[in-house]
């Protein structure tokens, strides 16, 4: 990848072999999801957003599940015995040997680091010519994390794991985030020197820092600005916490871009959603990944906009409406109690309350196509595949199984009969 106009080879190692005992799970920890996306997939996607050249994932416990998430075409190193983070990286040795450049090491259970943060870490490591650059944070409650020990000059000396700290070190508030950028050749040399002489009898990756410093190699750190980025998932409470943190972050980005969100607490907008200016989102709405929404739209309350939806400007999606794989033209209103799936609807339409597209016949998903200026009455079933032209009117309560040409009215329901009511 290009850094400061210089071509630098950067690879990444994702450590994802751990057990996740505290998750109380039958699955690999890293395949648990935050907003639809597996933890390990989030970490992998981060490497791709940063333009990292090669990625190796270290897998061990329930490795087939992790490999299924990332795919067979990726590179894996297998860690048979879980002997620590240093040991995990050693398993990827064959991918590092003979290479020159940088290797970024990431924890598979730290899934919401920002692209900008990792970019900064790599850039600093390259421009300052550091052999190890760490991501650190200042935590009021540093319990459980490795502590960063600095000398009087502020230079990093070593990392001490919580279980190995002395009372003085325990008070240190700067912690190791578990994200590193190393020089490949010097990392390989340092890994050879790690010994499991510590409270947990593990090979600690963090020992590499002291080994490099003893050798006189320059090391450094980037202190993360937003502490929430480096939160990890060790149990289900943290899984929920990270979901909330990510949700809040995404909502803020949309608000900063000119979207009104009435109640950010109850609004779930997944990754990579595009929303135009002046669109208003009412409470309890869920918008899934990849959805595109135009300007001046109104969404919710209680709207569920699922995958592959594209809404033009001034569209209204009202309460208790679910849409999936659907395109909605400019100015069309889909106001209440509606399900639309696999549908294309043109502009300036109005869809009545209770309308549903019957898109699934038990085997296939079928398409509904509706032209411009449609007026669909209440409680209509559109049995797909079905095509409705422009300017159609569908009578309330109709079950439409045949196409309706432009400028026609479709009516498909029993005629009403009234009968004298028998008295008891």
Closest by CA to 37, choosing from 213, 400, 250, 289, is 289
Is 254 catalytic? The answer is no
Spell out a b/e string for 253-279, using b for 16 or more CB atoms within 10 Å of the CB, else e: ebeeeebebeebebbbbbeebebbeeb
Q: How far is the CB of 18 from Ca ion (least distance, A)?
A: 7
Told to check if 232 binds Ca ion by CB under 5 A, we report yes
Q: For residue 69, what are the contacts with CB-CB under 8 A and spacing of at least 6?
A: 30, 31, 38, 40, 41
Interface map 148-187 toward ligand UD1 (x if CB under 6 A): -----------x-x-------------xxxx---------
Nearest to ligand UD1 of 178, 341 (CB atom): 178
By CB under 6 A, name the one of 117, 206, 357, 391 that touches ligand UD1: 206
How far is 367 from 344, CA to CA, in rounded Å?
A: 8
Task: Pick one of Ca ion, ligand UD1, none as the site partner of residue 373 (Cβ within 5 to 8 A by kind).
Answer: none
Tokens representing residue 115 in the block: 């692209």
Tokens representing residue 1 in the block: 């990848």
C-beta of residue 93 within 8 angstroms of C-beta of residue 188:
yes
Nearest to ligand UD1 of 203, 270 (CB atom): 203
C-beta of residue 373 within 8 angstroms of C-beta of residue 347:
yes
Told to check if 79 binds ligand UD1 by CB under 6 A, we report yes
Specify the stretch interacting with Ca ion by CB under 5 A; choose among 196-204, 227-235, 369-377, 406-414. Answer: 227-235
Task: Pick one of ligand UD1, Ca ion, none as the site partner of residue 17 (Cβ within 5 to 8 A by kind).
Answer: ligand UD1
Told to check if 354 binds Ca ion by CB under 5 A, we report no
Told to check if 15 binds ligand UD1 by CB under 6 A, we report yes
How far is 120 from 136, CA to CA, in rounded Å?
A: 13
Closest by CA to 119, choosing from 51, 185, 167, 72, is 51
Told to check if 241 binds Ca ion by CB under 5 A, we report no
Residues lying near ligand UD1 in the complex (CB under 6 A) are found at 15-18, 58, 79, 82-85, 87-88, 107-110, 145-146, 159, 161, 175-178, 204-206, 232
Residues lying near Ca ion in the complex (CB under 5 A) are found at 232
Active site residues: 336
């Amino acid at each position: 990848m290009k850094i400061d106009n210089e071509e630098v080879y950067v690879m990444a190692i994702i450590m994802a072999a751990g057990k996740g005992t505290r998750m109380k799970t039958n699955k690999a920890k890293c395949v648990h999801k935050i907003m639809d996306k597996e933890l390990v997939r989030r970490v992998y996607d981060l490497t791709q957003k940063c333009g990292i050249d090669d990625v190796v994932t270290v897998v061990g416990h329930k490795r087939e599940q992790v490999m299924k998430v990332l795919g067979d075409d990726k590179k894996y190193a297998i860690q048979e015995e879980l002997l620590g983070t240093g040991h995990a990286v050693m398993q990827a040795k064959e991918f590092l040997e003979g290479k020159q450049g940088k290797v970024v090491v990431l924890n598979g259970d730290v899934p919401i680091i920002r692209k900008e943060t990792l970019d900064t870490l790599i850039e600093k490591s390259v421009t300052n010519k550091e052999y190890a650059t760490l991501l650190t944070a200042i935590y009021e409650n540093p319990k459980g994390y490795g502590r960063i020990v600095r000398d009087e000059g502020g230079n990093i000396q070593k990392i001490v794991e919580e279980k190995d700290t002395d009372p003085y070190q325990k008070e240190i508030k700067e912690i190791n985030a578990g994200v590193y950028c190393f020089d490949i050749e010097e990392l390989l040399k340092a890994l050879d020197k790690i010994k499991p002489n510590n409270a947990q009898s593990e090979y600690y990756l963090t020992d590499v820092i002291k080994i490099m410093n003893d050798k006189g190699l320059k090391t450094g750190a980037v202190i993360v600005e937003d502490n929430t980025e480096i939160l990890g998932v060790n149990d289900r409470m943290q899984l929920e916490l990270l979901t909330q943190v990510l949700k809040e972050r995404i909502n803020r980005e949309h608000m900063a871009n000119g979207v009104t969100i009435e109640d950010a607490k109850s609004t779930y907008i997944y990754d990579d959603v595009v929303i135009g200016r002046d669109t208003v989102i009412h409470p309890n709405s869920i918008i899934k990944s990849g959805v595109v929404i135009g300007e001046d739209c109104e969404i919710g309350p209680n709207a569920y906009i699922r995958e592959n939806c594209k809404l033009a400007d001034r569209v209204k999606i009202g309460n208790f409406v679910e849409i999936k794989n659907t395109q909605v033209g400019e100015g069309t209103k889909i106001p209440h109690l509606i399900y639309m799936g696999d549908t294309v609807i043109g502009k300036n339409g109005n869809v009545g309350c209770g309308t549903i597209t019957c898109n699934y016949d038990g085997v296939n998903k079928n398409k509904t196509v509706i032209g411009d200026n449609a007026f669909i009455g209440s409680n209509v079933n559109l049995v797909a595949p079905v095509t409705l032209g422009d300017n159609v009117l569908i009578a309330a309560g109709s079950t439409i199984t045949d196409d309706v040409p432009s400028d026609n009215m479709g009516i498909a329901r029993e005629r009403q009969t009234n009968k004298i009511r028998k008295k008891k």
